[in-house]
Amino acid sequence: MLGNMSNPVKKVPIHLQSSQNRLLIKNGKVVTEDDVFDEDVYIEDGIIKQMGRNLIIPGGTRVIDARGNYLLPGGIDPHTHFDFEFMGTRSVDDFYTGTKSAIAGGTTMIIDFVFPKEGESLLDAFYEYRRKADGKVCCDYSLHVCLPTWSAHVQRDMETLCKEHGVNSFKMFMAYDFMLDDGQLYSAFEQCQKLGAIAQVHAENGPVIAKNAERLLAQGITGPEGHELSRPEELEAEAVNRACVIAKQVDCPLYVVHVMSRSAAKKVAEARDDGGRVYGETLAAALGTYGARSEHECFRHSAGHVLSPPLRPDPATPDCLMTCLALDVLQLTGSDNCTFNKSQKELGIENFTKIPNGVNGVEDRMSVVWEKGVHAGIISPSRFVAVTSTNAAKIFNLYPKKGCIAVGSDADIVVWNGNAVRTISAQTHHQAVDFNIFEGMQCHGVPEYVIVSGRVCLEEGQLRVAEGHGHFVDTPVFAPYVYEPEKMAELKPTRNGPAVPAVEPLELEDDFRL
C-alpha cells in the first residue's frame, strides 16, 4: 500500500459535499468524439443541465475556472478485475481502491467482469459481484459476465441476466482451463445474438499454449520469459481469426478484449473490412510498454509484466496499436486492471505457468493514452475521447447518459491539462498493488479536476472520494450502436451555436499501416 501511505486520501463525508449539487465549469474547451468547442457547463444534482455562454444560473453556485484546459467526458474503463479470485489467489485492488484509483486518473466509470467459481451459477456469481461492489464503488459501474462453462443452465441464466439484471455482454475464453471449444463458442455466440448481447472473447489458442508450455518446462525454461515464448502472437492472431469466423456464422457482434499484437489487430481489421460487427479493445499496458521488460533479471519486475495475451517483444507494437486506434481498426482502450503483489506473483517463481496473470492500469490509462497517442501526435483529442470513453458507452449501450458532455448526460467530467506532466510511480499511485508497470514514465496529460456524478472528487491534487457513492448502471440489450447503427443519429446530442470544424485528421506513417 505504498501509494496510500505517501498519498493519503481525505474522505469527506457525503453530507458535507451537498452544497456541491450546483457547479459551473467555465472557460474550458469541451471535447467530443468529433468536435472541440468553447462552452461553459452547468451541472445540477449530478446531471449536465445547461451548456453555452453567459448561462443564467442560480446564485451560490460553485464555479470552477477551466481556462486553458480541456473538458473531457470522464473515462470509461471497459475492462477491470477488482477483487477477482484467479489462479489460486485474489487481485489486490478491490472495488474501493480500484475505483478510487480510477478517479485519481480521470476515469469515472468502470465495467468489471463477473467470474463464476467452479460449480457456481452465473446468477449467483452476479449477485456475489453486486454484493462485493455495491457499497464500495466510488464511481458508477456495470458488469460483464464470463462463461467459464457451457450448458443449458448457463444459456438460461444468460437470458435472465439480460432481461432482469442489466447485463448485455458475456466473455468467453479460448485459453485457460475454463476455455470453451469451437462448438461451445458457436452456441454461446448464437445465444448472445438472440438476446441482443455482445460476445466478448479472450482470443488465444489454449491447447497449443499448453503444449508449448509443457515443452518449454521440459527444456528447463521455467522463468517468466517462458510466458511469452509459450504464447507467441500467432496464437493470438489465429484465435482472433477463428472467433471472428465463428461469430460471422451466427451474425453475432464480437468484441475482442485485450488485443495485444500487430498480427491480432490485423485479423480484427480483416474481419471489419469484411463487414463483420467486430470491435477491438487494446490495453494501456500494450500502448505504454512492451515485452522486453519480462526479461528483467529481477523476478518481481519480469513477473510484474506477465499478463495474457502477453506484452510483445517487438518494440514497434505500442505505436502500431495506437495507430490502429487512430485508424478505427481498434475502437477502445481498457486497462484489464488485475493486480497482484510480489508474494502473489511468487506463486510462479519455479514455473511461469503459475504466475498470476495481470497488471495495473486503471489509474494510469488516461495519461498513458494521452502521452502515447495525443502528445505523440498519433491521435487527436477527439479520438482520445472516443477511445477512452465514448465508444465504450456506445458499444455497451450507456450512451448518451455516459461517454459525452451534453445536456442531460451524467456529470462525469474531467478538467484535463494536456500540458502538465506527471511521473508514474508505485510510490505515489493510489492502487493497493506494490508495483507499477509504467514506473518512471513521464506523461503529459493530468486531470486537474475529476467530477463524478456532479461531485468534485479530485482538485488541486487532493482526492476526495466517497466509498459507496457509485451505482450499478444497467447495460440494456440491443445497443443501437451495435444492432441498429442507423438509429445513432437520433441519439446524438445536439448543441446550439455554429459547428466548429472537427480536428484535422492526422498524417499516419506508412510503416504503421497494416
Choose from ligand URP, Zn ion, none: what does 108 bind? Cβ within 5-8 Å by kind. none
Query: Is 81 or 262 the residue whose CB approaches ligand URP more closely?
Result: 81
- With CB under 6 A as the rule, give the number of residues binding ligand URP: 9
Residue ranges in 335-354 that form contacts with Zn ion under rule CB under 5 A: 336
Answer yes or no whether residue 81 interacts with ligand URP by CB under 6 A.
Answer: yes
By the rule CB under 6 A, 357 interacts with ligand URP: yes
The b/e string for 49-88 (b: 16+ C-beta within 10 A; e otherwise) is bebeeeeebeeebeebebeebbbbbbbbbbbbbbbbebbe
Q: Give residue number: closest CB to ligand URP.
A: 357
- Please pick, from the candidates 336, 363, 371, 410, the single residue that binds ligand URP as defined by CB under 6 A: 336
Q: How far is the CB of 8 from ligand URP (least distance, A)?
A: 29
What letters, b where the CB count within 10 A reaches 16 and e where it falls short, cover 263-283?
Answer: bbbbbbbbbbeeebbbbbbbb
- Shorter beta-carbon distance to Zn ion: residue 202 or 464: 202
Site for ligand URP in 247-306 (CB under 6 A): 258
Residues 6+ apart with CB under 8 A from 248: 271, 274, 276
Query: Residue 495: is it exposed, middle or buried by C-beta count within 10 angstroms (0-12/13-18/19+)?
Result: middle
Cβ distance to Zn ion smaller for residue 26 or 300:
300
Kind of pairing between the strands at 198-202 and 254-256: parallel
- Toward Zn ion, which CB reaches closer, 307 or 466? 307
In the complex with ligand URP, the residue whose CB is nearer, 332 or 452, is: 332
Alpha helices, DSSP H, located in 260-362: 262-273, 284-288, 299-304, 317-326, 342-345
Judged by DSSP in three states, 356 sits in coil
Among 136, 144, 202, 262, binds ligand URP (CB under 6 A): 202
**What is the 3-state secondary structure of 66-89?**
CCCCEEEECEEEEEECCCCEECCE
**Gap between the Cα atoms of 425 and 363, Å rounded:** 11
Minimum distance from residue 130 beta carbon to ligand URP (Å): 20
Which does residue 357 bind out of Zn ion, ligand URP, none, counting CB within 5 to 8 angstroms by kind? ligand URP
Asked if 301 interacts with Zn ion (CB under 5 A), we say yes
Q: What is the pattern of x (binds Zn ion, CB under 5 A) and - over residues 195-214?
A: -------x------------
Position among 78, 358, 400, 470 found at the interface with ligand URP (CB under 6 A) = 358
What minimum distance in Å lies between the beta carbon of 70 and Zn ion?
Answer: 29
Among 252, 285, 307, 385, contact with ligand URP (rule: CB under 6 A): 307
298 binds Zn ion (CB under 5 A): yes
**Cell representation of residue 504:** 484535422
**What's the per-residue H, E or C state across 209-251?**
HHHHHHHHHHCCCCCCHHHHHHCCHHHHHHHHHHHHHHHHHCC
CB 322 within 8 A of CB 287: yes
Determine contact, residues 445/370, Cβ cutoff 8 Å: yes
Q: How far is the CB of 73 from ligand URP (least distance, A)?
A: 25
Residues making contact with ligand URP (CB under 6 A): 81, 202, 258, 307-308, 336, 338, 357-358
Residues that bind Zn ion (CB under 5 A): 202, 298, 300-301, 336
